[in-house]
């Protein structure tokens, strides 16, 4: 008769299974296996490995707690400091991350990766200190001082022009007028998208004009977009009228093109709402967000946009968008993007009955739509409160509220969802922010839907993408799709310093 497995032996077997799940990107399964092992035998390795799984799932708060446990058991376990540092950096806690990577470098002085991450943390701390030192309320934003006309368009430029017949305009006032909402020619938009597909970019002068126009437009509209389903659909029938809601697209431009192939390009009779996280992770964030902005300025009623937690300075610095824009354009264009991002609406309603927000609901009780309308924009998200919760929070299956596993925002239960909807005369909450195997998930007794539109997220997750149609009956109708082929550029190709965060 075979000897019975000891708890330690069973824990080791579960750990090995967790490691295998981690290798094939089944992060939730890996975390569950490590949890089962920890219930049998607590070790620094198991806590550290589960921290790694949590980092992969972007549950940075949980990762930090597990790394703390690993260090408590074994203060010399270097990987625990490494993973805690990575989670802290992802949350923008640069000083804490610097301290952890300094410890790693002391313990493993020849580790080139740890030295690179320490340098990235040190740079981030110094940049934050410098920015604070020179910060002044009197400094005019770049969008008010930059003159795009300073950038001449050479004969070598092969991209599209917005002028009639695709000509370069010599009159800068006339060119500027074309970038006012409702004036940008649809032909220019479609030619730009065709160029993006072929790996080309539009001229920096046009990008700057577009971003300045977007900033002025979003600054003029409400923090809460109120969307109405059109009377008639694209085929002229009221039965086909709908609004399409998409979740995270994260720089996956070729999957965005597939959405348009399946569902038609945006128009006033085929409107879209993209619910945040347009950039970072995927390496075509620039093409994705420019596509959305081009449509918005061409026809403000054809596309609506809400802000995600990745339309923020800290996330862009870590997860690739800053490096991507600097590579394809320069720091001025990136800073203009940051200005636009700060003015994006934070939520939307559809026919006053469906509430759409990137993250979720607040830790505060009794929040109303007027509270959301009253939020100050033009800023980076604060560390806590309603603004932050809208971008970062997630649903949980059990009642009440809990600190988020991400380390930012809160987790909210079905009772919180029901109370918010009832107080505001709403029927349904739609949010994004989390990858789902099927591209969507319905929970909270059918009152909360998560929609995620980036299939095979980060070229590794194997998930489907999805979008939702809301017609006049406001019943959600889902369309799922697989990922589309794209040029051979890896995710986060432009991330600097901490670009290896996902490959711990």
**Contact call for residues 401 and 413 (beta carbons, < 8 A):** yes
- Residue 395's Cβ-side half-sphere holds a number of Cα atoms within 13 Å equal to 25
> Whole-angstrom Cα distance, residue 405 to residue 59?
5
Active site residue 327: no
Sign of CA dihedral 317, 321, 327, 333: negative
> Whole-angstrom Cα distance, residue 209 to residue 228?
29
**Contact call for residues 92 and 100 (beta carbons, < 8 A):** no
Sign of CA dihedral 135, 140, 141, 146: negative
Q: Is 216 helix (H, G, I), strand (E, B) or coil?
A: helix
Q: Is 219 helix (H, G, I), strand (E, B) or coil?
A: helix
**Contact call for residues 418 and 355 (beta carbons, < 8 A):** no
> Whole-angstrom Cα distance, residue 30 to residue 50?
7
203, 250, 310, 433: the catalytic one is: 310
Structural tokens at position 481:
């799709």
Structural tokens at position 185:
């020619």
Strands 243-246 and 272-275: parallel
Phi, psi angle pair for 277, to nearest 5°: 55, 65
Q: How many helices (H) and strands (E) does the chain have?
A: 19, 14
Place of tokens 């009642």: 399
For 74, residues 6+ apart whose C-beta sits below 8 A from its C-beta are: 44, 80
> Whole-angstrom Cα distance, residue 405 to residue 408?
8
Place of tokens 């300075």: 313
Count Cβ atoms below 10 Å from residue 12 Cβ, excluding itself: 18
> Whole-angstrom Cα distance, residue 318 to residue 499?
7
**Contact call for residues 436 and 89 (beta carbons, < 8 A):** no
DSSP summary character for residue 450: E
> Whole-angstrom Cα distance, residue 464 to residue 456?
6
Cα distances (angstroms) measured from residue 497 to each of 78, 89, 122, 440: 20, 11, 10, 33
Phi-psi map region of 74: left, alpha, beta (phi>0 left; psi -120 to 50 alpha): beta
> Whole-angstrom Cα distance, residue 456 to residue 435?
9
Active-site positions read 310
């Amino acid at each position: 008769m075979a000897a019975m497995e000891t708890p330690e032996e069973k824990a080791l077997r579960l750990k090995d299974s967790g490691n295998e799940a981690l290798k094939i990107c089944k992060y939730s399964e890996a975390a569950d296996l490590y949890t089962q092992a920890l219930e049998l035998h607590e070790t620094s390795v198991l806590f550290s490995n589960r921290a790694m799984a949590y980092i992969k799932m972007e549950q940075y708060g949980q990762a930090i707690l597990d790394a703390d446990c690993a260090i408590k058991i074994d203060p010399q376990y270097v990987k625990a400091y490494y993973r805690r540092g990575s989670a802290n950096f992802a949350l923008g806690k640069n000083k804490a991350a610097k301290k952890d990577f300094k410890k790693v470098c002391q313990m493993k002085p020849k580790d080139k990766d740890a030295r690179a991450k320490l340098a990235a943390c040190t740079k981030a701390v110094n940049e934050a200190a410098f920015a604070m030192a020179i910060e002044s309320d009197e400094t005019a934003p770049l969008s008010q001082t930059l003159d795009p006309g300073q950038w001449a368009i050479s004969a070598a430029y092969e991209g599209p022009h917005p002028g009639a017949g695709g000509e370069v305009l010599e009159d800068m006032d006339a060119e500027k007028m074309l970038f006012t909402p409702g004036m940008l020619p649809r032909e220019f938009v479609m030619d730009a998208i065709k160029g993006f597909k072929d790996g080309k970019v539009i001229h920096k002068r046009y990008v700057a004009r577009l971003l300045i126009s977007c900033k002025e437009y979003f600054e003029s509209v409400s923090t809460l977009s109120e969307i109405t389903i059109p009377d008639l659909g694209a085929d002229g029938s009221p039965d086909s009228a709908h609004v399409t809601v998409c979740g995270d697209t994260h720089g996956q431009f070729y999957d965005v093109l597939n959405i348009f192939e399946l569902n038609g390009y945006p128009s006033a009779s085929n409107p879209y709402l993209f619910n945040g996280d347009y950039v970072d992770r995927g390496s075509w964030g620039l093409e994705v967000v420019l596509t959305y902005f081009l449509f918005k300025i061409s026809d403000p009623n054809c596309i609506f946009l809400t802000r995600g937690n990745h339309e923020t300075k800290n996330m862009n610095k870590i997860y690739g968008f800053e490096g991507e824009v600097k590579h394809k354009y320069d720091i001025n264009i990136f800073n203009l993007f940051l200005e636009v991002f700060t003015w994006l609406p934070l939520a939307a309603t559809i026919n006053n009955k469906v509430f759409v927000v990137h993250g979720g609901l607040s830790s505060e009780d009794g929040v109303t739509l007027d509270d959301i309308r009253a939020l100050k924009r033009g800023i980076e998200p604060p560390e806590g409160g309603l603004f932050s919760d809208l971008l970062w929070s997630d649903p949980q299956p059990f009642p009440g509220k809990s600190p988020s596993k991400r380390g930012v925002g809160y987790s909210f239960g079905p009772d919180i969802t029901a109370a918010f909807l009832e107080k505001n005369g709403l029927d349904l909450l739609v949010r994004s922010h989390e990858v789902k195997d099927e591209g969507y998930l319905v929970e909270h007794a059918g009152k909360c839907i998560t929609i995620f539109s980036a299939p095979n997220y980060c070229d590794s997750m194997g998930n489907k993408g999805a979008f939702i149609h809301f017609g006049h009956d406001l019943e959600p109708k889902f369309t799922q799709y697989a990922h589309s082929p794209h040029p051979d550029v890896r995710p986060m190709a432009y991330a600097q310093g901490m670009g290896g965060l996902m490959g711990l």
